[in-house]
Chain A
Amino acid sequence: MHLSLPLLLSVALFGIGVYGLLVRRNAILVLMSVELMLNGVNVSLVAFDVFWAEALRAGQSLAIFVITIAAAEIGLGLAILLLLYRMRGSIAVDEATDLREDPA
């Protein structure tokens, strides 16, 4: 099959993830967008892995690691945003601006 197909899928997922990351206000939606980005990466990795088909299976191995990393990140991320929710009563990312420059 065409290598470019999975690659284009990967690019599309990554791009969509970037958009969501930058635009979604709810922190959980942001986390979801990140998952999309990582999936984009993984599609590439798997496709290239198939393409090169080398012995170490580096692409697929990394894809598995990325999935694991994503899980860990989501876990911790949720903990952080729950904390945020406890502190602020909201998980709107763009409202968490207590820490900022104060150009007087």
Chain B
Amino acid sequence: MTSNWLLPALLVVPLLASVILLVAGRRAESWATWFGVGVQSVGLVLMLGVLAEYKRNMSGSMQLVVDAEWVPELLVHFRLGVDGISLPLIALTSLLGWCAAVYTVRRVPEPGRARALVGLLLLLQVGLLGTFMALDLILFFLFFEVVLAPMWFLIAFWGSGERRRAANTFILYTVLGSVVMLVGFLIVIVKTGSADMVALANGLGEQMSGNAQLAAALLILGGLAVKTPMWPFHTWLPDAHTAAPTVGSVLLAGVLLKMGTYGMVRIVVPTLPDAMVQIAPYLAAFAVIGILYGALASYGQQDLKRVIAFSSVGHMGFVLLGISTLSVVGINAALFGNIAHGIITGLLFFVVGGIKQRTGTTAFASLPRGLYASAPRLGFLLGFAAVASLGMPGLAGFWGEFLSLVGAYHPAVPEHLFYRVMLVLAAVGMVLAAAYFLRVLRRVGQGAASQATMDDVAADEWLSWTPLIALTVVLGLAPVLVFQVTDPAVRMVVESVAGALP
């Protein structure tokens, strides 16, 4: 095929751009942000190219595959491809990257240094896109790690509050997770002699013995669980969010967390189905604990960003619940939940960032009341995003959660009764989610305005947020836009599990 250059180009363009910024020196400070927008726009165009070349009717199989031997000593191939599971995430990444770039043009967080900021964002983009494209375990791991340093810099240098501590916790915790994951990968590679994710998914992985599968699956899941983050491995997230600059939070919540759940669907479920069937109920239990815990903890937080961070724990709990069902509906729901959470929480963090920029704080104790009055449009967007996040039907947040429940009613694993209990508890979690978001709105949005007026949403903010707002509504009304892409691929994944079921 002639369009195979698209995926490498998606990686190379931001990489080259960040190198250009690196060597450009101080004179780049003035044009760096615009350069960033340009590069991200090119990325978006390339992404559209991928979407155009992508054959929806073949969503179950890898497309636009690139394969070149890279490090034969480690069996590493530079192998990229896209299918129904990864395409939505790649698109989401490109989009959020663009939004962040646009947002950055006029809003470089303290202490400036736009060149470095944009360069890091572009590098981050490389890692994120690469993770979703990689079809080789080691390559996946490498891209997984590429993300860390830029995010660490973002938090440690452009963050606020206890940013260093938060950045260090973030990177050390997640690196611990990814090293654990790596050990799992190495078990798979050693036992099967292959790092090819497609071959592994198509039956090679199943040839491993039961114990090896279980060990590998536990390790890989453990590593991915930190990234997701799954309760009780979530501690790094609230701190990181609280400290991170707006674009950092947006990308962290919007895309970074998805690498964990994506890895589960992409690697663990199809490669290690026997183990996955054994682990699934425990995963479900952790997921539901996460849902309830995230909601309760959110309610108890005294900082807007921490509330949203804990809400992410809850939302990712729904995604995990969907995965743990190992059913077509459940995994589709999980993938949809990934996208929806990315869009909505991205938007939430943008809005909260806007609030922070205007008021200088996100702590309830010092936030002025009455945002609805002082900045009605900003207030509206906060309300909109919160409502979308609490799972309002008709907006994107609903489908992932609801269909996770549907999936949990008929899990592919035999523990039906257990899953139904989990289902009810998860539904309780949905109500709790409403409670803490209403608390936020009541505290921040409503009430007599203690500050007469505030700058309302500016044009550049509208520009960078509108795609997210629009997608929240569009995907809420037509979830099929995602499902038609994910479903065939999910069916392939579930098929590989089917053989492992008792």
Please tell me whether chains A and B touch each other in their complex, using a CB distance cut-off of 8 A: no
Interface residues of B (CB under 8 A from A): none
